[in-house]
Structure 1
Amino acid sequence: MTESLIVRWHQEVEDKLEDRIVGWRRYLHRHPELSFEEKQTAAFIAAELEKLELEVRTGVGGGGVLGVLRGSHPGATIALRADFDALPIQDEKQTEYASTVPGVMHACGHDGHTASLLGVASLLSEQREQLHGTVVFLFQHAEEKTPGGAQAMIADGCLHDVDAVFGIHLSTELPVGQIGFCSGSFMAAADAFTIQVEGRGGHAARPHETVDSIAIACSLVGQLQHIVSRRVDPMQPAVVSIGKIQGGTAFNVIAEKTLLEGTVRTFDPEARDLIEQELRGIADGVARASHASIHIDYLRGYPTLVNHDKETSIVREAIADTMPDAIIKELERRMGAEDFAYYLQHKPGSFFYVGARGADERTHYPHHHPRFDIDERALVLSAKAFLSIVGQYLTKPVGTEFITTGLHSLPQQSI
C-alpha cells in the first residue's frame, strides 16, 4: 500500500504541481535576498504555507519560517529542510527569470530547494488522512553566511519533538536523474580567517627604509601551504586556501598594510585544531623575523556534516524502491560545507544530492558562478525524493516493531 501511495503522490506532483514549482523557483530567482536580509522571501514562503492551512511560525531563529502539518493519525515527526538565501554575485544569465537585484543572485540552488519543498507541502496538505504522524517544513535563512541560520532555528525550537531530519541539495555536479548519498562524514568543517599584516610604508625606490607588508603577505601565503603538505597526516583530508589578498595604493609605494583572507576545511577535529595552531605559529614567526605586526581573526565555522548510517540507508532504499528511474549514486566526501550539519548533531537524519545538470550547457556551470543555472526537471525529482521519505516514515501505523529515535517510535522498515 505504501509504495503505491507514494507512486500516486509522485504522479500528482508531475500532473498538478510541476508548473507551480517551476513558477515559485523562477519568482524566487528573480527576487533574491542576501543572508540575514531575506524579509520578502520569508514573507512569501509564509503566505504560501498559510494558504495550505498549515501551522506557520515566522521569525524562527530570527529569519526562518516553520510550517507544521499534522496527519490524521498518530505517528512519528519528521522534518524536511530547505534554505532560501542568495549570494552577493551579479547574475550574468540571459534568461527571462534572471535576477532583478543588482549584485545578488541565487547561485547555489536555494531557490529550487524552497520551491520543491513548497510543492511537497502543497501536495501533503491534501493528504492528511493518509499521514501517520507530523511533517515539519523547515525553511531556513542564511545558510551561505556564518554563523548561518540553523543554530538559531534549533535554539528557537524548530526540532522540538522531531524524530529525524532530512535535507537535499541540488547539484550541477550530477546529471538530472542521479541522486547521490554518502553515509557518515559527508561535508567538511569550514573555518575562515583574516590576517592583517602591518609594516612600514615608504617609497618603492627605497625599500630598505620600509617594512614591506605585501612581500611579507606573499611569504605567508607560501608558508601556509606547507601546513597541509608537511604538518597534517596525509591520510586526513585538509585544505588551506587563500581567497583574497589586498594591499597597496600605487606602483611606486611600499604598502604599509596588506590583508589576507582564507579558509580551512577539515574532517578530523584534531587536524582542525592543529591547522589553527600552525597558522598562528607561522604568522608569529614571520612577524618576528620581518619586524612587522600581524593580527589574526580566526572564525570556527560549520562543523563536519555527518549523515547517520541508519537513516541514510532507509532513505536510499525508499527512493530506490519508489523512483525506479532514478540512478542511485554513492558519493565521496566533499570539502564544501553546510550548516545542515547542526541539525544532524541534534537529530538523526541524512543530507543528500539531487542531480541538476542537463544537456543544455547553461546548466553546466558550478555553484557560485555568475551564470549558474539548473535543469528544472530536478525540482520535481527533489519533491519526489522528499515524498518518498514521508511515505517511508509516515504512511504506516506504529506497530509492535519500531525504530526508537527519540520522543517517538518510527515504524520498522525493510531495507
Structure 2
Amino acid sequence: MSAATLRPARSGRFAAVLDAGTFKTVCLIAALDQEGRAARIVGVGIAPSHGIVAGSVRDLAAAEAAIRTAIAQAENMSGVRLEGIDLLLNGGNPASRTFAAAAPISDGVVTRQAIDRVAAAGRAHATAYGRQLLQLETLGYRLDGGPIVPDALGLPASRLAAHVHAITADAPAVANLTRTVERCYLRPRRLIPGPIASALAVTSEDERRHGVITVDIGAGVTGISVFRNASPVFMSTVPMGGGDVTLDVVHSLLTPLEEAERIKTLYGTVLNAQSDQHDVFTYAQSGGGEGLEQRSTKADLARIIQSRMAHLLHLVRDHLAGAGLLEGNAARIVLCGGGSEIPGLQSLAEGVFRRPVREGRPEPVSGLPPLYASAAFAGVVGVLRAVADSAAVDLPDAHGASAPKGYIGRVGQWLRDGF
C-alpha cells in the first residue's frame, strides 16, 4: 500500500486492514519497512460487531458504528489518519471454481487478441448469476484439444481453451461492505476472501507448496481453502460457526446469550472424560427463572458442543469430498478461527477427516498484542501480510511479461489490479 492512501500525523509508510466479522470488528495499522513489508503494528482497534450476520452486512448504520469505533481506536493509537483501507471479505459466500473458457482462432496462430478474448469469456462466465469476480488466474492453455501448455502465444491452433481458476462472491454482499466503509469516509481499496487470508496467516510456504487444507471456524461462517503447488485450487464456505455452538447452549440450558458464551469459554470441550459426569457448574437461567442459579455438568455441555462441531466438520468434509479433494490426497488439515479453540477439537477433526490435523496460529508480528496472535485473528493478520508483502514483489506488465514470485506475489497483483 502506498503512503498516498493515508494522512500520517507521523512520518513513514503504513498499511491498514479491516475485518468486519460477525462478532468482532478489527482494524490493524502497520508501519512498513523500506521493502514494503509489515515491520511493526502501530495501531490496533477492536469493537463488538453489530448489523453483520454470517459475515455479511445486514444493517448499514449498525455496522458503520462498529467500524468507526475500531478504526478510531487504531488511528488514535498510531497517530495515523486513514483515507483508504484494505478489507477482509467474510460474507457473500466467497467460492472458487476451475473451468475452461474457449474461443476459435481465425488466422491459425494464437495472438494476444485471442488470449484476451478467452480471458474475457472466462470473466463473463465467472460473473454470471450475480457474482463478483475477485480473482481470475490462468492455470494453462489447451490447443485443439491437446495437452495443457503454460503459454500459448504464437503457437499454431484453430481453437484455444484456457483453464482458469476463478474466485467470486455475491455482488450484493460486496457492495454492502464497501458502501458501509465509504459511509465512514474511507476508500475501500482491495478485498481478500477470508479463507485465503487465513491460509496465508497460519500455513507455511512449504505446506502450501506440498498441499494443505485450511478450515477457519469463525463466529458465523466457516471458510475452507485448499492450496497445492503454492496456489489455491479450491475455496468454499459453510454458513455455520462458533456462534451456533453458543446458540445451542442457549437453547439447551435455557440461559441468556452472554451467559452461554461464558459457559462455553470456561467449561466447553468436545472431549468425554469420566470425571466430567461429576464436574458440576452453576449458571443463570433466562426467562421466568431470571436470577436463579441452575446446575449442569461438563459432560452434558460436552455433548451439546460435540454434536454441533461434529455436524460442522462433516459439512466441511462433504464440501471437500464433493470437489474430489480427499481421495488420494494426504494433505494436512489446519484449523484456525475462534471456533477452533474449543479443547479437543483437533482430535475430533482427525476422526472426521482421517488425516493429521493441527491448530494454526498467525506468525508473530512486532507490536501485535498477544491476544491478536491467537487463532481467532488469523484472517485479519493474513490480509495484513498479503497487502504489505504485495509492495515488495515484481508485478507483471500489461502483457504478462514477468510473473509474480509465488502466491503472495499473485495476491499482490490481484489486490493492486482487481478492486
TM-score range, shorter chain: under 0.3
TM-score, with structure 1 as normaliser? 0.26
Higher relative contact order (CA 8 A, sep 6+): 1
TM-score, with structure 2 as normaliser? 0.26
